[in-house]
Each structure stands twice: as structure tokens, then as C-alpha cells.
Amino acid sequence: MAFDSLTEKLQNIFKNLRSKGRLTEDDVKEALKEIKRALLAADVNFKVVKDFIKKVQERAIGQDVMSGLNPGQMVIKIVNEELVELMGSETTDIQLQPGSAITVIMMAGLQGAGKTTTTAKLAGKYKLKGKKPLLVACDVYRPAAIKQLQVNGEKQGVEVFAMGENNKPANIAKAALEHARKNGHNIVILDTAGRLHIDEDMMGELQEIKEAVTVHQTILVIDAMTGQDAVNVAKEFNDKIGIDGVIITKLDGDTRGGAALSVKAVTGKPIFYAGMGEKLSDLEQFHPDRMASRILGMGDVLSLIEKAEAQIDEEKARQMTQKMKKAQFDFDDYLESMKQMRNMGGLGNIMSMMPGLGAMGGMKMKNLDDEQTAQAEKSLARIEAMIYSMTPAERRDPDLLNPSRKHRIAKGAGVDISEVNRMVKQFGEMRKLMKTFGKSARKGRLRFPF
């Protein structure tokens, strides 16, 4: 993974610092000089490094040491905090339009940066969240690019809108939006044409698309392997067409990773996601704090714990159990329980984190392969899509669901009526089961299993 070499160097520097009981000003300065060298070697922008070191130095020298930490640890704490700050502090996501309004996302970037792959990865993420994305092939120069998008779209189960090579990208975008409106898509992702280098034609084309349709988010895809070039590209795109954020690809590779550390400082724009592999599921939200601790080599054990703690909202879980016992569990609760599962990082991840589930009676849940996990997640997404197509009243009162309502839901979710029937039936059975459990539990005959 990226940063390996930087991490190793930083760890050595810190080890050295920690081994000293007391730190003189010179010790700190010497360590900072080494950190500077390590960052430059990792291909972090020169000016960014200079500012970074200055900030750390100002804070580290002459600062009281917090109780519980030794001076070396104090320096690590400051470096960590400044690294987080450098990468933008907050986790920032692509902003979607409120409610059911269509969000138009334009993907831009140089050829080979990973734009088409990332477009499909993003669509998959949105689909899992119950959205209905439409991918649009605006790269009219490479027939292979249109095909690639179609193949990837199909793998993700997401519709791809293409008009071949003989249309202007701006016109394709317009037609795609029309198609999206008619077919109930709520996210439209435009895969535009890249070039080998930045050129006027490419920028002009992106500008034309922006004039033809309202683009809500312009996302630049950059390749971490290209180091500082990636950062320069980002700056130029931002100056010329204005971007809202960046997705940095190939952070899984053997790259020095400096681009990830420099982009925010140089362009002022956040990194939304990081590409961590070629598979369509290899897209991770970019968390400055977790990335900093990864770079510092403190592992992301902390982040795993944090993640679990933040997401399992105990109170919500307690309320839900109560509802289950009283058989008041409705579709809103069902949605909430799926959301909580997803927040914890998907089914595969949860299985592997659950104590005891790892190797349950030879079932080897931990080793759900990618295919099975994807399958399970797909089913969840379909259930979510159906529930999202219900009115609030229907979600609260499943008994309202008569055949005509079910037909409407099937249409809204883009599934067959038989699938809605099956889901509602299974939901009913689940409720019945809960009721039985609940009654027996109250009578003390059966302990409720939650």
C-alpha cells in the first residue's frame, strides 16, 4: 500500500525520539528535519512540506507536555494532528441534492487515471444506498471507453446511457438527463473523455457540458502513482473548470502517496474517496484522521473500534428490541437496522468483526467470499429500494399494502411485483415470529434472544 516507505521512516524517527527521556529544542529540530526529508521523498509538494514543518515546529517547541504523554509522544500527537489538518480534517462526501431531486455528477480526469472504473465503483456505492444511478458515456473518442462503461455498468447492475460516438458530449448529457427524469433515476454520473495531457479541447468540452446541463458536483479523478503531476493536474482543473473534490485512485499500489497529502493544501478541495484496487468494490471513503494514523503506522485498529462505537447506537438498538418484542417493528425500523449494518462496513466486514462468528460450526462466515458478500449486499439494496418506494404511512403500517400499492412500489423500485410480494410476505412472517417470541418472553417461558 502507498506510504509504506514513509511510514517506515517516520516510525524510525519517532522511535528515536521516544527513546530519549527529555527532548531538547535541538532534538526536536533534528527530528523535524528528518520528517521533512521523509515527506519530500514521499513526493509531497515542497511548499506543503515547508508549511507543515513550520506549523509542527511552532507547536512542538516551547509547548507544555500534556500529562500522560512523554515529550516524544507529544511530538507524534502534534504531527498526527497536523497531518489530519493537512488532508482536510473532516471527512467530506459528494453532496447530493435533497429529497428525490436528480444529482448530476461530472467525472473528469486524464486518460488512464481510472475515471471509467471509478464511475462504475461510485454507481455501485449509490445503488447500495438505495439510489437509482444512471451512468452516461460521454467519452465519444474511444469506443472502447463506452464499451468499458457498459461492461462495468452491467456488473454493477446499473443502467448505462450511450449514444455512440457521433454526438457531442454536451448533447449526450442533455439527452441522458431527459432519460433520467423519465425513468426515475436520481443520480446521473457523466463519464467524460480524458486526454493524455491537459488541453484546451478537453477543458472546452467539460465547459460545454456544464453549460448544457446543471452539474451539481464536478469530481476530478487523479492517479496517485503520478505523484506531483497529479497535484498539478488537480490545480489546473480547479483553476479552469472548478472542481468540488477529488477521487484519488491506485492508493493500493506501490506509490509514494504524496499526492494524497498535497491535494487539499494545493487546491483547497477535499478528497472524497480513494481507489484501493481494480475491483469494482475497491473504493473507500477518504478519512483524513484514519489516513494520518495509517501513515504514522499506528494501524487502524483504533479506527475499527471507533467505527464500531460510533455506529452502534445503543439507544436505537434498545428501542428496536422493544419494538420487536411488541411486534411493532415496521419498515422504517427495518431500514434503520439495515443502515446500521451498512454503516459498520458491509456484511463481509461485520461478519469478520463479530466475535465467535469467525468460524461458526465450520460455516466459515468470516470467509464469505467477495461474490457472496456482493450478492448479500445486492439483496439488501433491493429491499431498501422497495422500502424507499413506500409512502411514510405504508412504512409505518405494513397492513396497508394492497395489490395496487404493491404495484406502485414495484414500479418505483424497478423490481418485479413478485419480488415485492415475496419481501412483504417474508416481512410479515418475521413480525409474526417476533410476536411469538415477544409473548413467550413476557410469560417468562422463553428468553428473548436479543
Largest CA distance in the chain: 78
Q: What are the binding residues for GTP?
A: 109-116, 191-195, 249-252
Residue number of the CB closest to ligand GDP reads 275
The nearest distance, CB 271 to ligand GDP, in angstroms, is: 13
The Cα–Cα gap between 4 and 206 comes to 36
Q: Does residue 141 interact with ligand GDP by CB under 6 A? A: no
**Applying CB under 6 A, which part among 51-59, 169-177, 247-255, 373-381 lies near ligand GDP?**
247-255
Q: Does residue 238 interact with ligand GDP by CB under 6 A? A: no
Q: Which three cell numbers stand for residue 70?
A: 512523554
**Applying CB under 6 A, which part among 229-237, 246-254, 406-414, 442-450 lies near ligand GDP?**
246-254
Q: Does residue 226 interact with ligand GDP by CB under 6 A? A: no
Q: Which three cell numbers stand for residue 303?
A: 479506527
Residue from 252, 300, 306, 313 binding ligand GDP (CB under 6 A): 252
Q: Does residue 277 interact with ligand GDP by CB under 6 A? A: yes
The footprint of ligand GDP on this chain (CB under 6 A) covers a number of residues equal to 18
Per the CB < 8 A criterion, the answer to whether 308 and 344 are in contact is yes
Residue from 109, 130, 227, 348 binding ligand GDP (CB under 6 A): 109
Q: Does residue 278 interact with ligand GDP by CB under 6 A? A: yes
Residue from 114, 258, 346, 438 binding ligand GDP (CB under 6 A): 114
The Cα–Cα gap between 447 and 441 comes to 5
Residue from 36, 131, 132, 250 binding ligand GDP (CB under 6 A): 250
- The SS3 assignment for 269 reads coil
| Cβ count within 10 A of residue 328 | 15
Residue from 70, 73, 97, 111 binding ligand GDP (CB under 6 A): 111
- The SS3 assignment for 291 reads helix
The nearest distance, CB 142 to ligand GDP, in angstroms, is: 8
Q: Which of residues 189-208 bind ligand GDP (CB under 6 A)?
A: 194
**Applying CB under 6 A, which part among 17-25, 65-73, 104-112, 349-357 lies near ligand GDP?**
104-112
Binding mask 405-444 for ligand GDP (x = CB under 6 A): ----------------------------------------
Q: Which of residues 14-73 bind ligand GDP (CB under 6 A)?
A: none
Which of residues 278 and 370 has its CB atom nearest to ligand GDP in the complex?
278
The nearest distance, CB 248 to ligand GDP, in angstroms, is: 8
E strand segments, 276-330: 283-285
Q: Does residue 249 interact with ligand GDP by CB under 6 A? A: yes
What's the burial of 386, exposed, middle or buried (CB within 10 Å: 0-12/13-18/19+)?
buried
Which of residues 159 and 223 has its CB atom nearest to ligand GDP in the complex?
223
The nearest distance, CB 233 to ligand GDP, in angstroms, is: 12
The nearest distance, CB 358 to ligand GDP, in angstroms, is: 28
DSSP state of 398: G
Residues at the contact surface with ligand GDP, assessed by CB under 6 A: 109, 111-117, 194, 249-250, 252-253, 275-278, 282
